[in-house]
Structure formats: C-alpha cells, structure tokens
Amino acid sequence: PRGVMPCSALYATWIVRRSAKGRILYHIGAPVAQYANATTRLASQLVERIGARFSANPGFIRQATETIHRLATIQLELTFAQFSAIDRQATADALATQTDDFEREIVTVLKDMLGHSSDVRAQATGAAVSARGMLGKASEVAAAAEQSAIAMREAAQTAAGLIRAIE
C-alpha cells in the first residue's frame, strides 16, 4: 500500500530515533535509573490499558505484553548503548588529547635538552681553549723558571769564581 513504510525501514527509523534519544538523554545528564524506571512504568501502563481494552482475548494480551516488554528492553538497551558509546568516545578523545600533550611535552624537553647540549658544548669548547691557554702560560712560566735557574747557576758559578779569585 502507498504511504506504508516497509518493516525493515520502520525498524531502522525506530532504532535511529531511539539512539538519538539516548544521545539527547546523555547530553542533558538524565539519570539512567530514572529513565529506566520511566520506560518500565510506561510499558506497564500500556499493558494495563491493553488488558482492559482486550480483556476477552487473553492470547492477544499475552502476545502484546511480551512485545511491549521486548520493545521496552530493546529501547533501554539502545539508550544505554548510546551512553556507553559516548563514554567510550569521550575516553578516546581524552586519551588522544593526553597523547598529544605528552608528545608536545617530549618535543619541548628534547628541544630544551638539545639547547642545553649546545650550551654545554660551547662551555666545553671555552674550557678547552682556556685550558690550552693555561697550558701555554704554564709552559712559558716553566721556560722562564728554567732560564732563571740557569741564570742563578751561572751567577753562583761566577760568585764561586770570584770567591776563589779573592782567596
């Protein structure tokens, strides 16, 4: 018939709507227990009305009751699945953010270490230059001390020669 949706499309639409409702309930912070109680209460009221309206047909009431309870269970399951999916996504997003933050921190630490490494290399180079300069000065002092020692020895020899000449 025209305008009648095929069952599979109807089910798909119902599932999409239930899932959307689950996302809405999650985002407004609806308490899970309160939603479950409301859904159960609504199913019970529907069963009572069907029982009153079709009291002469217990087989139909039984089938309707089972169907209503199954639908309520599926509805709750879809809603809770959405809650769970949103929580998992939020956890994944938080983990991705933490991973990005960690990677940025590592890059910063490595850059700082490389910068400090350059500073240490520059200081080591400066220390090596200073050490070479000190070695050069120490070498000059040693040469001057040697010359002074030679001059003192010659002066002592000269003084000894003068003392002998005077005697």
What percent of the chain lies above the pLDDT cut of 70?
A: 96
What is the b/e burial string over 51-81, where b = at least 16 CB atoms within 10 angstroms of the residue's CB? beeeeeeeeebeebbeebeeebeebbebbbe
Check residue 62 and give its pLDDT: 96
Q: Looking at per-residue confidence, does 103 or 124 come out higher?
A: 103
Q: Supply the pLDDT for residue 155.
A: 84
Burial category of 22 from C-beta neighbours within 10 Å (exposed 0-12, middle 13-18, buried 19 and up): buried
User: Which residue type occupies 4?
Assistant: V
CB atoms within 10 A of CB 43: 19
| Residue 51 main-chain phi, psi, to 5 deg | -60, -40
- CA proximity to 68, closest of 92, 98, 85, 48: 48
Q: What is the mean pLDDT of residues 107-117?
A: 84
User: What average pLDDT does range 25-35 have in this prediction?
Assistant: 89
**Are the C-beta atoms of residues 78 and 19 closer than 8 Å to each other?**
yes
* Cβ-contact 72, 43 below 8 angstroms: yes
Decide if pLDDT at 58 tops 80.
Answer: yes
Radius of gyration of the chain (CA): 48
* Of the listed ranges 4-18, 81-95, 101-115, 142-156, the one predicted with least confidence: 4-18
Q: What is the pLDDT of residue 55?
A: 94
Across the chain, mean pLDDT equals: 87
What's the pLDDT score for residue 138?
82
Tell the burial category of 95 from Cβ atoms under 10 Å away from its Cβ (0-12, 13-18, 19+): exposed
pLDDT recorded at residue 2: 56
- Give the per-residue pLDDT at 3: 58
